[in-house]
Structure 1
């Protein structure tokens, strides 16, 4: 979009928040870059320069606006619905791969050379993987500086910087303030919170309908790993350097997020996974505008616009839960998953709630005795085969995975059919076009709405909903009275 200068100018002049994260505006007369919805008086069009990423604006010599804080914009929805190498790279960078494994690790995961990755990212985003990761570290550093009292040296390494000097230089370059100056500016009269839990606001593009999003997560929560408590969905997370607990609550214009981390180096990835779980980088206007073109869906969209796809913080975990949940009730699936958690999960402490364990990894379940599973023999075989495939890397469900390859590898496993594959694609891989026409809830909704009732005919009708069929699923499910459609009561 940044190449369409006329459209970008109109968005900036209208202060249109829908375009926050789609592009960034550099102002040559002030040397700052802003989000489109920046509240200051719009600059003259001839003084605007448009960039596809904050990193590109920073590389061009612009510093972040102190009013609109462009680094806190929602992420570009491009990385949500695309499956090409650039989108996969962006999802991996957001997940902290460059900080942990460097550019060679990013390239290795994508199956390309470092030179190819550099070239493709620079061509589309105006910045390479190191610059993109640097911009992300700057955002994390600002968050820690402004919301915690921890020493600056600890902030630097928690944000992923390799040295204090790199930390100081980056903060000064991006925010035009020293780290201490940034903390002093924000903390006047508002001292930072304690160093335990971190409280922050997760932005999103309006509208957002929280009912099915939080309702689904709460209704299917595995005891000990997830819970709904005091108006928040709480979740234990396994992270690269330790573990964390996230509490997520819907608000009219943001999501309140409280994170308790055993290692602050996991802050960036924890935020990224929370945003991913709640699908906060989606473009609901684009989705809803397309779905409204079908008369059968128009009334559903108008009734509760902005439905998101509830996802997961742990794709292998969700895949196992999807198999466990085949042909059983939601309550039964939760019970079976909780037994696995109790027997094989890693225990954690949760002073503020009832979370007790991390969900077990595929490696931890590799020695699982199938006879201990209260399932028919064929289902036990499916579970153990999937565990082995996940543990040995035969099936890759990571954020940078190839969606079609993952589908093919899952389909090749015994006992995993189209319903399970598409459910995993929708909620674990994040494919916005995943579709499950054989689902009983979808078929019931189709009958109610006079849509075709057979899977083949419904799939043909749903061609007009592409590439947003996963969102159509949410609207169709919402026609039922299942608990997944209801925002839990406090």
Structure 2
């Protein structure tokens, strides 16, 4: 995109919010960088505009963030969610905080490249290396903590991942042109601060967004103790790198309201990244809708409910286990099996607001799962034990930085995992936007309702026109197939939807 300067200029001059997160517009005369949609004043002269592919690149070039449009808080680039190459995998891992936890060598090892190769690829595409990208994320995490928590500045610096208070102060001044104290004072005038240990924030998204397609399924499949729908919000427990947390996510017209309670504030950036991924908030619904709308059989459905997202997961290993437990059984049976597993093996926690009681057990905790603990057919029990053994031992990686093809092949090689399960894990755990399960009963039923081919072979051939967004087409097929599920979503959504 950055080879086409005219397109970048048009995006900035039209203040088109669709390009927020795709590019950053810097002004040479003011040394400020903004979102393309920044509403401040008259657009700068073209000769003064500079375009950068990341906030980190703009910061590295000596620009500070606009105080009005807050470009560092814009939706993330949709590129990192629908690509499986090195740069996309690295960006997902940086977003999850891997560089802060283990440094650049850990990131390079996770993606299977040398540090030099990794740095070269990131700089070529994003104009910044992994350290600069992680620094930009630390700055944004620090800003959130300064503005929304009661932590002292020393605690904020530590929680955001800075090595020293001096580095923290310098970075905040350079990026935001304000001291940490000035940032907190400005925020205090705008809204009250949260209590100690909690952070309240807004999660932006690219419009349109059809929230029922996210919150309905999440609420309908909520597992007792781990998830719940309470007072118009989806709540769940989080297993995080330094501790655990509880998040409450509430759909609102122009953002998702999030409240996080964390045992260790160093997990803030990871928690935010996982919540955004759960709700698919960095997707580009306009591009997806434009492609799917070309199919006359989908046009009406897309026009009626634009902005459907693919509900994903905060914990890929957790979802893989839940997908196996849900093979060839009803939703109620799947929830019952999963709740039983959680009650016996999940780590207890305390929830002062609702009825969340446990973390979902990690694969290591399930490796000694006895055959008598779950009333499952032998084939599915074998599939489950094989899966958790491979996940615990590192034989299968379904995390945010995983290689999708390799993970698919490893899952398919396990005994008892059918194609539906593999593709469901690919869609919601791996995050592959092109995942597609033509053998799924609901998919075929939805195809029949919409007048599409309702055989596996016929639908697979027709679905080639939906690439690379077949997972989003599945959401429309499921919605057409399952009217009862639509009723469940309406009940869960309740007064918020009205």
> Taking structure 2 as the reference length, what is the TM-score of the superposition?
0.97
Q: How does 1:18-417 map to 2 (within 5 A)?
A: 18-40=18-40, 41-188=42-189, 190-417=191-418
Q: Distance in 2 between matches of 1:140 and 1:388?
A: 35
1:225-255: CA deviation from partner (whole Å, max 9, x where unpaired)? 0010000010100001110001001111000
Per-residue deviation, 1:378: 1.3
4+ residue runs of structure 1 moved beyond 6 angstroms? Answer: none
CA deviation string 1:57-96 (max 9, x = no partner):
0001000000100010000000011000000000000000
1:295 and 1:180 map into 2 onto residues whose CA distance is 56
- Consecutive unaligned residues of structure 2, counting only runs of 5 or more, are none
Per-residue deviation at 1:149?
2.1
Q: Does 1:15 align with 2:18?
A: no
Q: Distance in 2 between matches of 1:320 and 1:171?
A: 41
CA–CA distance in 2 between the matches of 1:291 and 1:188?
Answer: 45
Q: TM-score, normalised by structure 1?
A: 0.99
Residue 15 of structure 2 contacts residue 36 of structure 2 at CA under 8 Å; is this kept in 1? yes
CA deviation string 1:14-51 (max 9, x = no partner): 11111100000010010000000000121011110000
Tell me, yes or no, if structure 1 residue 486 matches structure 2 residue 489. yes
Q: Are the structure 2 counterparts of residues 360 and 215 from structure 1 closer, same or farther at C-alpha, using a change threshold of 3 Å?
A: same
SS at match of 2:202: strand
Kept after mapping to 2: 8 A contact 1:103/1:130: yes
Separation (CA, whole Å) in 1 of partners of 2:229 and 2:200: 18
For 2:389 and 2:194, locate their aligned partners in 1 and report how far apart those are by CA, in whole Å. Answer: 44
Distance 2:36 2:372 in 1: 58
Structure 2 CA distance for aligned equivalents of residues 21 and 410 of structure 1: 33
1:434-482 CA distance string (max 9 Å, x none): 0011111110111111211111110110000000000000011111213
Contact 1:35 1:69 in 2 (8 A): yes
Does the CA contact (< 8 Å) of 2:39 and 2:69 recur in 1?
yes
Secondary structure, aligned partner of 1:198: strand
Moved more, 360-369 or 477-486: 477-486
Runs of 5+ in structure 1 lacking a partner? none
SS of structure 2 residue aligned to 1:245:
strand
Give 1:189 deviation, angstroms.
6.2
**Contact preservation (8 Å) 1:197, 1:259:** yes
CA contact (8 A) 1:312 1:428 kept: yes
- Return the offset for 1:173: 0.6
